[in-house]
Structure 1
Amino acid sequence: MPSLTRTQRQRGVRLSLYALFVLLVGGLVLVADREAIASNFFMREGFTENWQDFVTVGARNTVLYTLISFVGGFVLALVLVLMKLAPIAPFRWMATAYIELFRGLPALVVILFMAFGVPIAFGWRPPGGTIGAGLVALMLVAGAYMAETLRAGIEAVPKGQTEAARSLGMNGPWTMATVVMPQALRIVVPPLTNELVILIKDTSLLFVVGMAVNEKELTTMARDFMTSGPSTGTATSLVFACLLYLAITLPLTQLVAWLERRQKRSR
């Protein structure tokens, strides 16, 4: 009997794994209580009567909070990365300390600190009340992560680009703004898009600060519908929120994958 080639063995392993996956899924379908799943996770009234609030309030606020946090965090990240790359040592120390601090703290702790700790300690509350404080906290955390992403992108730009610009008489700031930064931004588009996806999910942490009815994001709305409304006592509202999160994040994750493939081909 002739021996199998390496390609044939790999194909056989893949087919075996596919068959095992199908068997596992089929077994779960057979043993599952479909009636209990339908009544607890897919209650019709929970979808038909709540969809408008979920889409026009919950999903809208989730996207709005994400965009505000991302734009604010990106501006902060630009300032931080320029400070970290500056020739002035105190600027580098301050930027490094900030980045390490906010990368090491959980986003939830920063949100609570900004919403409740800062007003108590300093008698000052960010614009927008507790929601505004939560968004500022997300900006602070996102800015720290995006600053490191931007730094990696700037350092990935060949040094010959900077040397060529300086040889043409361009000063340091102008070289950074017109030569280095545009190339760095193209490099870091995929990781920055990943940060955007993370921010979409981190907006769910804002439920801890309390919200008015028209300020609720998807997670808060789903939690409230679990205790009131047509699907009270079931997880239908959570399933609805999960589907909307996926509808927002999956296109972005596919965009990241496409951008990464495009960058590999360009290299």
Structure 2
Amino acid sequence: MYAVFVAVIVMVVLAADWGRLQRVFFQWDIARDQLPEIITIAARNTVLFTLIAFGGGLAFGVLLALMKLSTVAPYRWVATAYVEIFRGLPALLTIFAMAYAVPVAFSFRPPGGAVGAGLIALIMVAAAYVAEIVRAGIQGVPKGQAEAARSLGMSPNRTMFSIILPQAFRIVIPPITNEFVLLIKDTSLLFIVGTTPAMKELTTYSRDAMNTAGNATPLVMGGLLYLMITIPLTRLVAVLEKRQARSR
């Protein structure tokens, strides 16, 4: 199998038209023209949008998780319906609805204009996934922890926020980090709402630069910057999973 793998790699290397690849995808002068804006504007906006969507999605997701585990039936119904709907809809469709359908239907423009509407949509989508992750984490905490807290006279709310949630978050750190990585890539969907030059994220910036230059080099640079952001995070997830496995 190793020999076959090496043979395939050698065949690909020999068959590729490296001169044409270099002309279309690796023009150094075009790459140099993208600096520093592709970092100071596009990469910065990608990280900023991700942090906003993740922070809002985490807060809303925890609330939804608690609602799904509530003893009050209407809370469970609302949270379950929300999670099923926004996990089932494509994120692109949710962004389109928030940016175009909601303003038309309710004469309401979200703060931040089109980009703000897109970020609200990403928060809504992230919350649905985070809710399921946190719910699984809460249910993964041994029931004896809650029983011990109640035997000490703690109220149900104090037991949840002081005993259960801290342990649940320790359990869900790896999948939560994976959700953060997914959100980094999902910010590329904001291209559908249109952005000003100062609000472009990596994908929109790279696509517009490619159209201007008539060359795909900006797309390659955008991809490399995505990898520089996501690979350290995915390695962090692997380290956290190994650490949890050892602790178990």
TM-score normalised per structure 1? 0.92
Q: Which runs of 4+ in 1 moved over 2 A?
A: none
- Look up the match of 2:12: 28
2:52 matches 1:71: no
- Look up the match of 1:216: 200
Partner Cα separation in structure 2 for residue 209 and residue 151 of structure 1: 32
1:19 CA drift (Å):
2.2
2:172 matches 1:191: no
2:83 matches 1:83: no
- Which amino acid in structure 1 is aligned with residue 116 of structure 2? G
2:134 matches 1:134: no
Aligned residue for 2:132, secondary structure, equals helix
Partner Cα separation in structure 2 for residue 18 and residue 244 of structure 1: 31
- Which amino acid in structure 1 is aligned with residue 205 of structure 2? M
Partner Cα separation in structure 1 for residue 10 and residue 130 of structure 2: 43
1:233 CA drift (Å):
1.9
Partner Cα separation in structure 2 for residue 263 and residue 84 of structure 1: 26
- Alignment equivalent of 1:240, drawn from 206, 221, 224: 221
1:18 CA drift (Å):
2.4
Partner Cα separation in structure 2 for residue 86 and residue 30 of structure 1: 62
Q: Deviations over 1:6-62 (max 9, x none)?
A: xxxxxxxxxxx2222221111111111111000101011121111211100000000
Partner Cα separation in structure 2 for residue 171 and residue 155 of structure 1: 18
Q: 1:26-65 alignment to 2 at 5 Å?
A: 26-65=10-49
Aligned residue for 1:249, secondary structure, equals helix
Please list every run of 5 or more consecutive structure 1 residues that lacks an aligned counterpart in the other structure: 1-16
Q: How many residues align?
A: 248
- Look up the match of 1:155: 139
- Which amino acid in structure 2 is aligned with residue 179 of structure 1? I
Partner Cα separation in structure 1 for residue 224 and residue 44 of structure 2: 14
- Look up the match of 2:161: 177
- Look up the match of 1:14: none
Q: Deviations over 1:56-115 (max 9, x none)?
A: 000000000000000000010011111111111101100101010100100000000000
Partner Cα separation in structure 2 for residue 224 and residue 57 of structure 1: 13
Partner Cα separation in structure 1 for residue 219 and residue 3 of structure 2: 31
Partner Cα separation in structure 2 for residue 66 and residue 75 of structure 1: 14
- Which amino acid in structure 1 is aligned with residue 127 of structure 2? G
Partner Cα separation in structure 1 for residue 42 and residue 140 of structure 2: 39
Partner Cα separation in structure 1 for residue 48 and residue 3 of structure 2: 43
- Which amino acid in structure 1 is aligned with residue 132 of structure 2? E
Partner Cα separation in structure 2 for residue 82 and residue 110 of structure 1: 24
Partner Cα separation in structure 2 for residue 96 and residue 18 of structure 1: 48
Partner Cα separation in structure 2 for residue 106 and residue 162 of structure 1: 37
- Alignment equivalent of 1:207, drawn from 191, 201, 206: 191
Please list every run of 5 or more consecutive structure 2 residues that lacks an aligned counterpart in the other structure: none
Q: Deviations over 1:220-242 (max 9, x none)?
A: 001101111xxx22211111000
Identical amino acids, percent of aligned pairs: 57
- Look up the match of 2:238: 257
